[in-house]
Amino acid sequence: MNAKLIYVLLPLFTSLLLNSCGESGESVSDGDSDWTDAETADMPDSDAGESDKDIEDGEAERETSEREPDSESAYESDSEIDAETSEQVEPEVEVPSYDGVLFRFPLNNSEGLYSEEYVFGVDHDPEVHEGVGSGICSNYNGDSFPTCYDEHRGSDFILHGGFDKMDEGVVFVYAAADGIVVEIEDGNYDRCHIDYENLGAGNISCDGNPIMANYVKIEHAGGIISMYYHLANGSISVQPGDSISCGQSIGRVGSSGISSCPHLHFQVEDLEGNVIDPFAGALSQPWSYWAEQVSDSGLPGEICR
């Protein structure tokens, strides 16, 4: 893999040091065929000698089996019983443990402003890697770099056009759902970047300024927290305690803190600080925290629900 390509595309953290820049369905049998074969094997041979009493009993059984039911209600009763039995054996559907929070895409991609090819997601690989291994990861579907990188705790959406587009002041960040602002940080330098010449590959420079991000944290129903990192200096338009509506502008995309280029790091946690991957997948959870996980643009939909 081309070393320079990795460093250009990957929004690196200081800890990220790279030296290069089915389903499986079980067959479930109800056992009816096996049970029938076993029962048939145990039945006596019908050609064996039959007594008069056996014949009389057989005729009586045939008469009983040929009788019509007393009324249509008998059929209805049986149908109701079958329906109830069917409902009882249906497998329980696993429901989310949150209070129905669904997120919209926290950006506006109507002009194709954000990369669809490179979305760096949450790393579900439990192992911690160093050096070249920092590129080893697994996203929600089990895909590896460049869909994620080691120990990444959120989803990065990269702005096309870099600092030039950022300087136009039109790339806003939006609240992903209704909630209350719980924390903000603003006033930090927002043109942080990779400095190959002075700091070596994989290291972030904020040009002598503190490497600190501007961000907003919002609490939603059920205690779910959404976080918006690397915002532009002076762009945050909300304050702690503010009630926020889904789709409300809260700031603009920047490159503050441990950031290699202008992008939004969107992170979701519960009240205990456990990371939640909003994408449904084989390694995350069967339900999506996005109102529309994949829209026509290939990114989450900009739908509030």
Structural tokens at position 131: 């050096």
Gap between the Cα atoms of 196 and 193, Å rounded:
9
Domain assignment of residue 236, yes or no: yes
**pLDDT at residue 88 in the model:** 53
Which stretches of the chain score pLDDT less than 50?
Answer: 1-56, 58-77, 79-86, 91, 93
Burial of 236: CB neighbours in 10 Å, binned 0-12, 13-18, 19+: buried
Alpha carbon of 204 to those of 19, 48, 245, 255: distances in Å? Answer: 15, 92, 34, 11
**pLDDT at residue 212 in the model:** 97
Alpha carbon of 113 to those of 202, 262, 266: distances in Å? Answer: 25, 11, 16
**pLDDT at residue 97 in the model:** 54
Q: Token match 């420079």: residue?
A: 205
**pLDDT at residue 136 in the model:** 94
**pLDDT at residue 134 in the model:** 82
Domain that holds residue 208: 101-112+160-276
**pLDDT at residue 87 in the model:** 52
Contact 159, 232 (CB under 8 A): no
Domain assignment of residue 206, yes or no: yes
**pLDDT at residue 36 in the model:** 29
The full DSSP string for the chain is --HHHHHHHS---TT---S-----PPP----HHHHHHHHHHHSPPTTS---HHHHHHHHHHHHHHHSPPS-HHHHHHHHHHHHHHHHHHSPPPP--SSS---BPPSS--TT--EEEEEEEB-----S---GGGGG----TTS--TTSB-TT--SEEEEETTHHHHHHTT--EEE-SSSEEEEEEE-----B-EE-HHHH-TT-EE-TTS-----EEEEE-GGG-EEEEESBPTT-----TT-EE-TT-EEEEBBB-SS-SSSEEEEEEE-TT--EE-SS-STTS-SS-SBSSSS-TTSS------
**pLDDT at residue 200 in the model:** 60
Length of the chain: 305
**pLDDT at residue 202 in the model:** 61
Domain assignment of residue 209, yes or no: yes
Beta bridge partners of 126: none
Gap between the Cα atoms of 303 and 23, Å rounded:
30
CATH code of the domain containing 250: 2.70.70.10
Domain assignment of residue 269, yes or no: yes
Contact 305, 299 (CB under 8 A): no
**pLDDT at residue 25 in the model:** 29
**pLDDT at residue 5 in the model:** 33
**pLDDT at residue 254 in the model:** 98
Domain assignment of residue 225, yes or no: yes
Burial 4-39 (b: 16+ CB within 10 A, else e): eebbebbbbbeebbbeebeeeeeeeeeeeeeeeeee
Domain assignment of residue 235, yes or no: yes
Domain assignment of residue 48, yes or no: no
Domain assignment of residue 36, yes or no: no
Provide the domain count of the chain: 1
